[in-house]
Chains A and B, each alone.
Chain A
Amino acid sequence: MRRYGWFLAAGLVVCLALAGVVSVFASSSPDGLEHAALQGCTVDEDGEIVGGTCMAQAERDHDLADSVFADYGVRGLDNEALGTGLAGLVGVLITFAVGGGLFWLVRRRSSPAVGAGRGDGDAAPPA
């Protein structure tokens, strides 16, 4: 169990490095869906749709577009790279907390398998 703790810690550090540092160097080009969404429309230099029909025309702004971490930045922070990195760190921690917390809450409490090297404290089911 102790080695597993180290594995989890190392994994989390990798996630934080990817979201907090590597993310700054990610491509900012439109992605596959955004690209397809503009197909059929004429777009001017500012990226505004000026003619044609395409999927993006029906797109609405996000309801939470003004929130603190909207679009993976930090509201009020001018340094875009720093904002992306901070948003990434926050996102990894929130996702790990929410996901890990949820899975921990709903997990099976007693392990019926007398599996090898499973050092749980409450391994013995009463039945």
Chain B
Amino acid sequence: MDGFALHVADGVIETPVAALFAALAVAVLGICLVRGRRELDDRLAPMAGLVAAFVFAAQMLNFPVLPGVSGHLVGGALAAVLVGPWVAALCVAVVLIVQALVFADGGLTALGINITNMALVSTLVAAAVVAVLLRLLPRTTAGLAVSVFLASVASVVAAALAFVLEYWIGGGVELATGLGTVAATMAGVHVLIGIGEGLISAVTVLTVARVRPDLVYALRGARPAAAPVPATGGAA
């Protein structure tokens, strides 16, 4: 069996439904490209390429979460914190496209499903959680670490549940046990994977924040003491 965590193979979701999500993915990635362009300058562009390369590398590193079950970083949260949600979605999408085309990981017809879950849902959820937590928690190293950790857990579970929703809409096999069992397993296992993801993401972000704090997108809002706008966080 091919495929790594959350990388859906062909056939698991019926093709028409997969095609629908592919259309959705293309549309949202288009929006991300338009919004991301405004932020991509000479400095962010190479950083975004590096983030994509890091997400690819980290996705190869499956770690055990239960006896006989493993998981790996999805990277949406890490990318959203480092380069902002719009560019982050593009980063993870590039990784998923390279994986599907070069490494036969994640089905070609399932690419839209995989982009939706791992590039769009995970980065969106992570960016939202980080934006809220960074405002609530103290602006310290610990505050940043906790924000990144919790955003990672939330993003992975959200991506797993997005898959369950897609399976509910167009799953290829009608399950005798019902979808509830699968949903519970997916959520439970991905909480554990999310904890691993959270640790890796927090360490990575803290490392970058120590070496080059100016390169951490989520910390940018801290400096310009402009206006008390409560809704910046990445929507700018």
A interface vs B, CB < 8 Å? 4, 7-8, 11-12, 14-16, 18-19, 22-23, 26-37, 39-40, 47, 52-65, 67, 69-72, 84, 87-88, 90-104, 106-108, 111, 118, 120
Question: Which residues of chain A come closer than 8 Å to B192, judged between CB atoms?
Answer: 32
Picked from A55, A91, A120, the residue with its CB within 8 Å of the CB of B56 is A91
29 intermolecular pairs with C-beta atoms under 8 Å apart:
A4-B212, A7-B211, A23-B57, A32-B190, A32-B192, A36-B189, A40-B177, A58-B11, A58-B12, A59-B1, A60-B9, A63-B10, A64-B104, A69-B103, A69-B104, A72-B60, A72-B105, A88-B57, A90-B102, A92-B53, A96-B52, A99-B49, A99-B53, A100-B52, A100-B53, A103-B40, A103-B90, A106-B33, A108-B41
Q: Which residue of A lies closest to B194 (CB)?
A: A32
A39 touches B10 (CB 8 A): no
Question: Which residues of chain A come closer than 8 Å to B132, judged between CB atoms?
Answer: none
Contacts A84-B60, A98-B52 supplied; 9 other A-B pairs, CB < 8 Å: A7-B215, A29-B70, A30-B1, A31-B4, A40-B176, A56-B12, A62-B10, A96-B49, A102-B90
Picked from A11, A26, A95, the residue with its CB within 8 Å of the CB of B61 is A26
Cβ of B139 < 8 Å from any Cβ of A? no
A58 touches B172 (CB 8 A): yes
Instruction: Tell whether A55 pairs with B182 under 8 Å between CB atoms, given A7-B212, A94-B98, A106-B33.
Output: yes
Picked from A19, A32, A72, the residue with its CB within 8 Å of the CB of B186 is A32
Rounded to whole angstroms, the CA-CA distance of A19 and B55 in the bound complex is 10
Tally of contact residues, B, Cβ under 8 A: 85
Rounded to whole angstroms, the CA-CA distance of A100 and B55 in the bound complex is 13
Picked from B3, B39, B60, B97, the residue with its CB within 8 Å of the CB of A33 is B3
Instruction: Tell whether A15 pairs with B102 under 8 Å between CB atoms, given A36-B189, A60-B11.
Output: no
Rounded to whole angstroms, the CA-CA distance of A15 and B42 in the bound complex is 21
Q: Is the interface of A mostly helix, strand, loop or mixed?
A: helix
Question: Which residues of chain B come closer than 8 Å to A37, judged between CB atoms?
Answer: 12
**From residue A17, how far is it (CB to closest CB) to chain B in Å?**
8
Picked from A11, A63, A87, A107, the residue with its CB within 8 Å of the CB of B45 is A107
Question: Which residues of chain B come closer than 8 Å to A54, judged between CB atoms?
Answer: 173, 175
Rounded to whole angstroms, the CA-CA distance of A31 and B47 in the bound complex is 29
Picked from A16, A31, A88, the residue with its CB within 8 Å of the CB of B69 is A31
B186 touches A15 (CB 8 A): no
Question: Which residues of chain B come closer than 8 Å to A64, judged between CB atoms?
Answer: 100-101, 104, 108
Picked from B1, B57, B100, the residue with its CB within 8 Å of the CB of A56 is B1
